[in-house]
Amino acid sequence: MPELLNIEKGPNEIKGQINISGSKSESNRLLILKHLYFPNLKIQGLSTSNDTHLMQKALESNGTEIDVEDAGTSMRFLLAYFSLSTTKPITLKGSPRMHKRPIGILVNELRSLGAKIEYLEKENYPPLRIYPSPVNGNTITIESGISSQYISALMMIAGKLPKGIRINLKGKTVSKPYIELTGNLMQKLGFEVVLNDEFIKIEGQSNFQEKSIQVEPDWSSASYWYLMVCLSTKASLKLRGFKENSFQGDKSLVDLFLKLGVRSIFHENYLLLEKVEMDLPKNLNFDLIDSPDLAQSIIVAMAALGILGEISGLQTLKIKETDRLQALKVELEKTGAQITIGKDFLKIERGISTLENVKFETWSDHRMAMSLAALSMISPISIQNPEVVNKSYPNFWEDMKLLGFELSNHLPEDLEL
């Protein structure tokens, strides 16, 4: 039976300091690049997330079976990594949900470069078996409107190909800042990277000589504190280590949440979040095609504040840890909100009217848990399966306690002693 976390109504004023661990996106990319090119590189400030733990475990494994559980980034990146670095057959598998997340586009492109990959169950889906095979090709064309992780995975193996790689981009690119993050990190590590709307070109090995590299804190995780500040009556919250010139695309939340009453002030060693007294708009529309991981935080904020509107660019949300569009609709409609969803959008037609006795399901999704937890700023709430936050932000509940939230865990009534 699922565990239930009860959260009392949060403090009216959010005040204090939070230390968020390193970016999961940066950490997982740097780990792949370290193991491909820089075995002695020291990565400082690695993410403490379970996804990053799974990536480290896989890269350090000598076994023939790798289980990435529910880590989608690890599945995509490791498929490319093992396609050119394994000396023995490797089975790559994950959770039941992972085996429903498509990967055929990446498999096809890796095969076109010479990789030998076999589907073990259903065509186009994990689990997979990867065999040792020379990977030589250097020019591919990929549908860029499905997953940026396919493209990042291909970019990172470029230096191991005799002629590098040229990736021609077909269609409208989703989550483009994540591709730019990969390119920026590779440039920082000495690779020559050309990246524009039509193609990406990466040639040859790196001339990088440094011994260490620092990971910036995770902007996606910061979004939940922006959400709580947004729902507070007063706030002065410090987030350590965040930089104004960040490589991470989810830094766009600075501008997004300004429209919802949160001001960001950058200092040398920390970011200060303040609540802004302002007349909030009755309607807002956002296109989150570049930052879909912010969708739950933005949507919960708007619904809680009674702001109506449409959030678009969400086509990738249906193939995440869960179908996030359906999950948001079901959970927010428990509160009296009215939500309409489509293939790539969510529309808020009525905001939240009550949170009394609401028990939120997390849908095995860390971002559902953390965004819905912020509603405790308005009323006491309950969250089922709270442990899902370990995927990206293991200290989330402890950080809530640090700021004065009262949390208590309970088993279902029929299991209590």
Domain(s) labelled CATH 3.65.10.10 in the chain stretch across 4-21+217-411, 24-204
pTM score, whole prediction: 0.91
pLDDT given at position 410: 66
What 3 state SS string does the chain have?
Answer: CCCEEEECCCCCEEEEEECCCECHHHHHHHHHHHHHHCCCCEEECCCCCHHHHHHHHHHCCCCCEEECCCCHHHHHHHHHHHHHHCCCCEEEECCCCHHHCCCHHHHHHHHHCCCEEEECCCCCCCCEEEECCCCCCCEEEEECCCCHHHHHHHHHCHHHCCCCEEEEEECCCCCHHHHHHHHHHHHHCCCEEEECCCEEEEECCCCCCCCEEECCECHHHHHHHHHHHHHCCEEEEEEECCCCCCCCHHHHHHHHHHCCCEEEEECCCEEEEEECCCCCCCECCEECCCCHHHHHHHHHHHHHHCCEEEEECCHHHHHCCCCHHHHHHHHHHCCCCEEEECCCEEEEEECCCCCCCCEECCCCCHHHHHHHHHHHHCCCEEEECHHHHHHCCCCHHHHHHHCCCCEEEECCHHHCC
Question: From the CB of residue 196, how many other CB atoms can be counted at a distance below 10 Å?
Answer: 8
**What tokens were used for 129?**
């078996």
- State whether the Cα torsion 380-385-389-395 is positive or negative: positive
Class of domain 24-204: alpha beta
Give strand pairing partners of 18: 239
CATH number of 4-21+217-411: 3.65.10.10
Digit-coded pLDDT (tens) for 73-100 = 999 999 999 999 899 999 999 999 899 9
- State whether the Cα torsion 77-80-85-87 is positive or negative: positive
Q: What is the pLDDT along the chain (417 residues), one digit of tens a residue?
A: 358 999 999 998 999 999 999 999 999 999 999 999 999 999 999 999 999 999 999 999 999 999 999 999 999 999 999 999 899 999 999 999 899 999 999 999 999 999 999 999 999 999 999 999 999 878 999 988 888 999 999 999 999 998 899 999 998 888 899 999 999 999 999 999 999 999 999 987 777 888 899 999 999 999 999 999 999 999 999 999 999 999 899 999 999 999 999 999 999 999 999 999 999 999 999 999 999 999 999 999 999 999 999 999 998 887 777 789 999 999 999 999 999 999 999 999 999 999 998 999 999 999 999 999 999 999 999 999 999 999 999 999 999 999 999 999 865 443 333
d(CA 250, CA 226): 12
* Of 115, 217, 205, 123, residue with least CA distance to 156: 205
* Of 190, 151, 165, 176, residue with least CA distance to 73: 151
pLDDT given at position 2: 56
Active site residues per annotation: 293
Digit-coded pLDDT (tens) for 159-186 = 999 889 999 999 888 889 999 999 999 9
∠ Cα 278 280 283 (to 5°): 160
One-letter amino acid for residue 359 of the chain? K
